[in-house]
Structure 1
């Protein structure tokens, strides 16, 4: 298993290296530290003032210096036996991460960067990676308590897209002996006006989630539970409220749900959840047609 860990050298982003080390140890994997450097642009002050920017643009020296710094940081957080040579790329951070991740099994990254923005303003890099990367992305927060991934939450809407996340949850639970909860959210707006319709929908989906539990997770050694939650809230709010009352080490979910429409237009359940929870979130983006 190959794990890519983007960092910007901030203290907050170091959390990703710590979690990646633990994850690699559990899953018998390797950790590759990664940094994307944005070169001086035409809008930078020295260039704008007519000064030569050549001294700022010696990419070989920059790459060597960043690589040394990345190695030093990673060696403080990751077991050297599992540590691979760092990667430094030039260009847009989000796109660089997505491009590099094609050769990896997981991306582990922190929601916070060196800007120190709140998670509500985190926006660009993490959310672009969540949207664009085919590689599963494990998002960790500074307060995330992954422990040994002993309690896992998996969300489902019964779609094929949602099912793409199940094997990842199962693989981790098999390695750690974790207890696993499988949940489905029903919003009130899915109900008919008559009460009988509400009871019928809930009953049907409770039976359906039990079948999913048996089909995908019956072989796990830990406790496996499935439940349907009826809520007035949006899906991410309902999941957040459930997580608030239960101590999970990991949430596993797909980025695209039953609608199958583009992630940009689907309501961003995963991105909204990442903004709000302290729990680590493993986001699985169903493979899209490369054509």
Structure 2
């Protein structure tokens, strides 16, 4: 993650600007550069209406639109982060999710918000943010409307003991190493109504041992910063994670987008998708397929 480029898509809504603040933290920590990005959808005579807030009026050609939008990108980015952290802005054309994914191929991180100009519901599939999460192989930091952007001191990392879940560990370890943050590595044990206390206790003991081995194998450089815990819950896995974060909000949640089931990130009911939709902390989503490339 060192000296990485950080792509920050914006639709020029106030909420989308919040991503620049979060990107600024990562740029400072990893000596990175922020690349402001906007996906431009040609709307012919509607261009001047859609971009009325960025300085266009009347009938304009695409060249003028691109120059004006690039200028506006730098302006809004400069309003929210130190100009020394900024790189040259990029402008994509066409479907926003596809344009973001293509632009991010040379970047180490995408930072975006879960609401924007389209006003999509966080409970419905098909949002630009969720499409980006499904399409891209680049790690994505999702910032929610209620997310509090602050220095990273506590990181929540989840695992279901699958190989896919471990692909997120190096990213969490790097962040902890650079920031000095604590890592809370947790596993959720869903308790069924018929499970006895003896069975649960034995299962917890086995899982605690496996978490300890993961700590030694994956977090050796920051081992003194890692706490492990098995959480026994009658709730679903994603509900238990959301509850854990609500009880004591973390500065960052790190999760793999594909777990033990091998289901794609946006399969209805998947843990990763549900966590991103419901936690208020910033969530760093890692697609294991990127690691395999």
Do they fold alike, i.e. is TM over 0.5? yes
How far 1:227 sits from its partner (Å)?
0.5
Matched, 1:62 2:65: yes
Structure 2 counterpart SS, 1:126: helix
Match of 1:48 in 2: none
Structure 2 match to 1:101: 104
CA contact (8 A) 1:93 1:125 kept: yes
> What is the match of residue 171 of structure 1?
174
2:185 pairs with one of 182, 187, 197: 182
**Per-residue deviation at 1:118?**
4.6
Distance 2:215 2:268 in 1: 26
Q: Secondary structure of the equivalent of 2:183?
A: strand
The one of 228, 231, 234 equivalent to 1:232 is: 234
- Tell me, in whole angstroms, the C-alpha distance in 2 between the residues paired with 1:273 and 1:126: 14
Partners of 1:76 and 1:42 in 2: CA distance: 30
Structure 2 residue corresponding to 1:149, chosen from 132, 149, 152: 152
1:110 aligns with 2:113: yes
RMSD: 2.6
What is the alpha-carbon distance in structure 1 between the residues aligned to residue 175 and residue 34 of structure 2? 17
SS in 2 for 1:114: coil
2:207 aligned partner: 205
**Larger CA deviation: 109-118 vs 176-185:** 109-118
Q: Where does the alignment leave 5 or more consecutive residues of structure 2 unmatched?
A: 48-57
> Aligned with 1:243: secondary structure?
helix
1:114 CA drift (Å): 1.9
1:26-82 Cα shifts (integer Å, max 9, x gaps)? 1110000000011127999xxxxxxxxxx8672211111111111111111121112
Q: 1:1-291 residue pairs with structure 2 within 5 A?
A: 1-40=4-43, 58-121=61-124, 123-189=126-192, 193=195, 196-220=198-222, 223-265=225-267, 267-287=269-289
Q: CA deviation at 1:120?
A: 2.8
Residue 106 of structure 1, CA deviation = 0.3
Give the count of matched residue pairs.
Answer: 281
The alpha-carbon distance between structure 1 residues 151 and 246, as it changes in their structure 2 partners (threshold 3 A), is: same
